[in-house]
Amino acid sequence: MAGPDPHRRRTLVFVAVTLGVLCILMVTHYQSAPPAIGVDSARQMLAADSSVVVLDVRTPEEYRSHTGHLPGARLIPLPELGRRLEELRPFGDRTIVVYCRHGQRSLNAVAFLRRHGYNALNLEGGILKWMEARNPVNVKEQ
């Protein structure tokens, strides 16, 4: 009677170790990803809590474009966020919902803001997802 195939055993060990490493990487990624909020939850939060701050981190051109901006949004483009952080100090105890076009720039902004002690949330899908859900936008300059 022949014993287990050593090649098959090595392959199974390799697969098990690889799956374990992938699981660890996925858990680490999801634990370190900045918190996000979906458009429906954001709409409800904004309607229920007037203290929530809305921060647009797109360019001024995008802010004034046909996509408009969320009502009451403050514009601080992502490249300027570090040097303009002081402008957010009055809102240090409030929730800040951050958005951009798709959600990637705002993800970076949320990570930055949270490192500086702000309670910031990334609007998932950005203004495009917000508009897709037929939520209100302002298209005129504030």
Tokens 């949330």 sit on residue: 121
- Residue 69 region by backbone torsions, left for phi larger than 0, else alpha for psi between -120 and 50, else beta: beta
List the structure tokens of 12.
Answer: 């199974």
pLDDT in tens, 26-70: 544 444 678 999 999 999 999 999 999 999 999 999 999 999 999
Give CATH for domain 35-132: 3.40.250.10
* pLDDT at res. 5: 81
List the structure tokens of 51.
Answer: 């203290």
Residue ranges per structural domain of the chain: 1-32, 35-132
